[in-house]
């Protein structure tokens, strides 16, 4: 099973260099829509990557937050957004990325940016990821739900999960028994709805992400 998991993740990573329809190429829009310089560790040109990458528009969608019963939009004009996709019962990748992003949240909140930055975690396992399960996951990861800037997003069913997570966010996932095999990508989106960074892997560096967030918030004065 471990070999199959690694094989799928490698395949999904390779698929990341397939063109994503509907996205704007960074080479087409230049750098006027972003605050950060081009991402040096990006896997290729933005237009050749399956997920939204540097300089491209972040996909627009609206999903409910099961913890509050409010609906949340993927892009907003007054916030910097940090977004990823997880499932709460994941035994490996989602535990790491959740813990890392909780660390980022703690740092930016401590720095007084809690009103300028929000965190979106979309589940691709809506069948099992109920409000109670997601709340427990948040507690295990160290997420501060009381800060008001962390949102869980839950598609209605597996079809909508595929539509949002795979087709819009470009994060392929495959169910294998009680688990999902999937790559991990974290997006940093500016208030204008453009991707500043797409960090690949389940362990985005906290200091790097915080530094990028501070640069973007400073540029947009959100």
What secondary structure letter does DSSP report for 131? H
Q: What is the mean pLDDT of the chain?
A: 87
CATH topology of domain 2-220: Glutaredoxin (3.40.30)
The pLDDT, as a whole number, for residue 6 is 36
Instruction: Please report, for the chain, the start and end positions of each structural domain, with discontinuous segments joined by +.
Output: 2-220
pLDDT at 20 over 70: no
Look up residue 38 and give its two tokens: 């081009």
pLDDT in tens, 169-203: 999 998 888 888 888 999 999 999 999 999 998 88
Q: What is the mean pLDDT of residues 58-87?
A: 96
pTM: 0.86
d(CA 211, CA 182): 27
Q: How far apart are CA 156 and CA 163, in angstroms?
A: 11
pLDDT band at 28 (very low <50, low <70, confident <90, very high): very low
Residue 27 banded pLDDT, cuts 50, 70, 90: very low
Which pLDDT score is estimated for 181? 87
| CB of 46 closer than 8 Å to CB of 19 | no
* pLDDT of 19 over the 50 cut: no
Does residue 19 or residue 120 have the better pLDDT? 120
Q: What is the 3-state secondary structure (H, E, C) of 169-221?
A: CCCCCEEECCEEECCCEEEEECCCCEEEEEEECCCCCHHHHHHHHHHHHHHHC
């Amino acid at each position: 099973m471990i070999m199959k998991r690694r094989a799928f993740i490698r395949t999904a990573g390779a698929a990341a260099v397939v063109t994503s329809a509907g996205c704007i190429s960074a080479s087409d829009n230049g750098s006027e829509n972003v605050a950060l310089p081009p991402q040096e560790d990006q896997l290729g040109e933005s237009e050749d990557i399956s997920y939204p990458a540097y300089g491209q528009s972040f996909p627009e969608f609206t999903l409910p937050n099961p913890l509050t019963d409010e609906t949340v939009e993927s892009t907003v004009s007054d916030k910097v957004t940090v977004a990823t996709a997880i499932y709460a019962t994941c035994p490996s990748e989602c535990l790491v990325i959740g813990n890392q992003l909780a660390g980022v949240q703690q740092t930016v909140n401590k720095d007084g940016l809690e009103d300028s930055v929000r965190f979106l975690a979309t589940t691709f396992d809506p069948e099992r990821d109920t409000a109670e399960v997601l709340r427990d996951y948040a507690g295990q990861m160290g997420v501060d739900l009381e800060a008001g800037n962390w949102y869980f997003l839950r598609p209605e069913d597996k079809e909508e999960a595929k539509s949002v997570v795979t087709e819009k966010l470009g994060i392929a996932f495959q169910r294998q028994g009680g688990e999902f095999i999937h790559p991990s990508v974290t997006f940093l989106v500016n208030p204008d709805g453009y991707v500043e960074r797409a960090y690949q892997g389940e362990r985005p560096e906290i200091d790097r992400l915080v530094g990028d967030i501070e640069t973007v918030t400073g540029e947009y004065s959100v």
